Amino acid sequence: MSADTSFLEKYKSASARNRSLLCVGLDPNPNHLPDSLKGRPDGISRFLTDIVSATSDLVCAYKPNFAFFGALGESGFADLAGLIRNSPGDIPTILDFKAGDIGNTARRYAAMAYETLGADATTVNPLMGSDAVLPFLEYKGSCAFLLCLTSNPGSADFQRLETGDRTLYEAIAARAVEWSESGDCGLVVGATHPGELGGIRALAPGLPFLVPGVGAQGGNAEEVVRTGADADGGGLLINASRAVLYASSGSDYAEAARQQAERLRSTFEAARASTPA
């Protein structure tokens, strides 16, 4: 994490420069690599380097998912560290590992994310409350995206439970606004919940939203922009992973990823242009 430029500054600058709300998720699966890279010791590293090079002028952020790297052992961790270290310095990286633990452990998670790996932001599970969240906010310029109403079907098991006069996800959104006085917070809100997205935006008008679920999970991009954008027409990082990464398994994988990223960016921008101010 750069001490000179905050996550929010990087995000807003990249979004304006690239005219983009697109965040590309970097979830490397050895079984899905292009045929030319399967089995190569540097296959993951080469693949991700090519994807980033092909899309860096089209995105507002990158989101490497820790599980896909951690599952590969030492080489995966090294690939993750190299990816973050060598990514364009003016585009933020969000380490997606949904950490959530007691304060002492949360501090070590935060140290791994920001000191060891150099990420600009993280995803955090707030179920254990302030103990799990506040250690991430101690890093000036970072941003903790709290799981709020996630895109998976099982999100309804707990996130929609009533807690007094509001649902759990609404309580998380309201608390994130309070915690943002200590450090920058964002919310993870799935594109598969367009009906609720506007209500969450009303509760947290100034927070950035990381929005997974467009593409393979079926979320509607136009609805996300229409209901989730902030007062300036931004505040969204709409994530696409598989749809971009694995657009082709042939030698044209990088160009195919670029074409898909361009299509998604254009879709988001068209929706933004047609949304009343």
* Residue 226 maps to a domain: yes
pTM: 0.95
* Residue 186 maps to a domain: yes
Stretches in the chain below the pLDDT threshold 50: none
Q: What is the pLDDT of residues 236-258, one digit of tens each?
A: 999 999 999 999 999 999 999 99
Return the CATH number at 119.
3.20.20.70
* Residue 2 maps to a domain: no
The domain total for the chain is: 1
DSSP letter, residue 104:
H
Q: Is 38 a catalytic residue?
A: no
* Residue 1 maps to a domain: no
For residue 34, give every residue at least 6 positions away whose Cβ sits within 8 Å of its Cβ, in sequence order, or none: 47, 248, 249, 250, 251, 253
* Residue 192 maps to a domain: yes
* Residue 229 maps to a domain: yes
Query: What pLDDT was estimated at residue 159?
Result: 87
Query: What pLDDT was estimated at residue 274?
Result: 85
Query: What pLDDT was estimated at residue 183?
Result: 96
* Residue 166 maps to a domain: yes
* Structure-block tokens of residue 234: 């931004």
Catalytic residue among 10, 12, 63, 98: 98
* Torsional class of 122: left (φ above 0), alpha (ψ -120 to 50), beta (otherwise): beta
Query: What pLDDT was estimated at residue 193?
Result: 87
Domain of residue 127, residue span: 7-274
* Residue 146 maps to a domain: yes
